[in-house]
Structure 1
């Protein structure tokens, strides 16, 4: 994750590179992606929470839903940031361990995407992964209708988080879709931004956990900036900026910070 520092030099080139049609790729349907066993796994009684960290890996294409826990009461899907694919599972485990320490006992699962290449190509990959993840989640929620879904994206994983909401397009909703140290642009959650409708339509609640000590994040170094020429200063009613600066000293410290993680699970 420390290589996220290299991303600063690429921000201006990447801020405007998003293709809105890609963000709206999935509006009404979720593709059946059960490739192998998976649909039947959720048909029994609700399973107990597990400490196992399973991995939903999009680097080789769309994975089967059986790669995630089935029949759980609740699953928090943790999405890594730039250069974090090799430590996706261990990063999710760090969040899980901290969450356990502050009393959260639900299941945590790692989401891995192709973060290879320079920052701007990795950002494009993060945006593309949002549509894949949204389609996968549609099939997963069909197979696990009783499971509460939570998303947590770190750094460029915050881009995946937002793009996933946009691709869901209100066809279903996730309970929470949060970011820590998000590398998404600072006006993304605004009503005038690219994701205001997605936040409103595709999630129960969306939180931006930010630290002013974070020198790498964009949205994640402060509150959403809705002060542009075409902005009226508002964000959706189900969106909140949460200051965790007192608990987070830098870009890589969110998941291991009891204060930050306590704030996250306190909103679950």
Structure 2
């Protein structure tokens, strides 16, 4: 069923039918490959994964019932490059930090196929955005009162914005945020490829960035609009004071406090 046939759990349906024109933005393969070891090695203490549901898109679209049902709200945490095998643990780390700052709602891991070279993984992230949007449409139909929040790390930030593009205004999620996003730094700008997706498919979109992050693109600073603007519901949030490097966002209370303060 196409995403635009689904009901909206948090806002009125949109009649928008325009598709977002998206550029296939390729980064430095050498930089991403170098980051892979850092991503896998991070999180030296294993998180308690008990109670973390997983949506695994590596073999297609999972069942709606794979995620928590009839809950007030849920955060869908999307991992970055080379981290599919640790997707649930990454989500659990975010949940534990969120609990430490007073946020107790369920967190669900979104797992995508990040195998292969960086360029193929980036394409996979974009393609999985289409699948996740379809899944979310079914989920909002089954759980119309559940507030939906998306949080993508690194290449998961590409998937986060591509999901909004595929939703295409058919319904809105409450928040669609990124930490250390590897999306292009101009993607959410008004003259960029994903501004319409930001405006039409989410109540608010936040880019939590750190200037200490030497791997991220959009996530290393505010959106680079060359003097232009971003949509009114898009916000750049500087968490440099608490985030020292690319893998630190989900486990730093300063960063996670900033995230949940906007929930």
TM-score, reference length from structure 2: 0.82
Give, in angstroms, the shift of residue 11 of structure 1.
7.6
5 Å-filtered alignment, 1:82-231, equals 82-227=81-226
Give, in angstroms, the shift of residue 189 of structure 1.
0.6
Q: What SS class does the counterpart of residue 237 from structure 1 fall into?
A: coil
In structure 1, how many angstroms separate the alpha carbons of the residues matched to 2:124 and 2:199? 24
Q: Is the 8 A contact 2:174 2:203 kept in 1?
A: yes
Q: What SS class does the counterpart of residue 208 from structure 1 fall into?
A: strand
Matched length = 221
Q: What SS class does the counterpart of residue 110 from structure 2 fall into?
A: strand
Root-mean-square deviation (CA, aligned residues, Å) is 1.5
In structure 2, how many angstroms separate the alpha carbons of the residues matched to 1:256 and 1:8? 26
In structure 2, how many angstroms separate the alpha carbons of the residues matched to 1:9 and 1:134? 27
In structure 1, how many angstroms separate the alpha carbons of the residues matched to 2:144 and 2:51? 21
Q: Is the 8 A contact 1:141 1:147 kept in 2?
A: yes
Q: Is the 8 A contact 1:196 1:235 kept in 2?
A: yes
Counterpart of 1:265?
A: 260
Counterpart check, 1:239 vs 2:259: no
Counterpart of 1:9?
A: 29
Correspondence for 1:254 among 249, 254, 261: 249
Structure 1 alignment gaps of length 5 or more: 1-6, 13-50
In structure 1, how many angstroms separate the alpha carbons of the residues matched to 2:103 and 2:51? 15
Q: Is the 8 A contact 1:152 1:178 kept in 2?
A: yes
For residues 198-242 of structure 1, the C-alpha deviation after alignment (integer angstroms, 9 at most, x for no partner) is 000000000000000000000000000001xxxx61000000000
Give, in angstroms, the shift of residue 8 of structure 1.
3.6
Q: Is the 8 A contact 2:29 2:119 kept in 1?
A: no
Structure 2 alignment gaps of length 5 or more: 1-26, 33-49
Counterpart of 2:60?
A: 61
Q: Is the 8 A contact 2:175 2:202 kept in 1?
A: yes
Q: What SS class does the counterpart of residue 75 from structure 2 fall into?
A: strand
Structure with higher RCO (Cα < 8 A, 6+ apart): 2
In structure 2, how many angstroms separate the alpha carbons of the residues matched to 1:224 and 1:172? 25
Counterpart of 2:20?
A: none
For residues 70-119 of structure 1, the C-alpha deviation after alignment (integer angstroms, 9 at most, x for no partner) is 11100000000000100000000000000000000111000000000010
In structure 2, how many angstroms separate the alpha carbons of the residues matched to 1:267 and 1:102? 13
In structure 2, how many angstroms separate the alpha carbons of the residues matched to 1:175 and 1:189? 17
For residues 227-265 of structure 1, the C-alpha deviation after alignment (integer angstroms, 9 at most, x for no partner) is 1xxxx6100000000000000000000000000000000
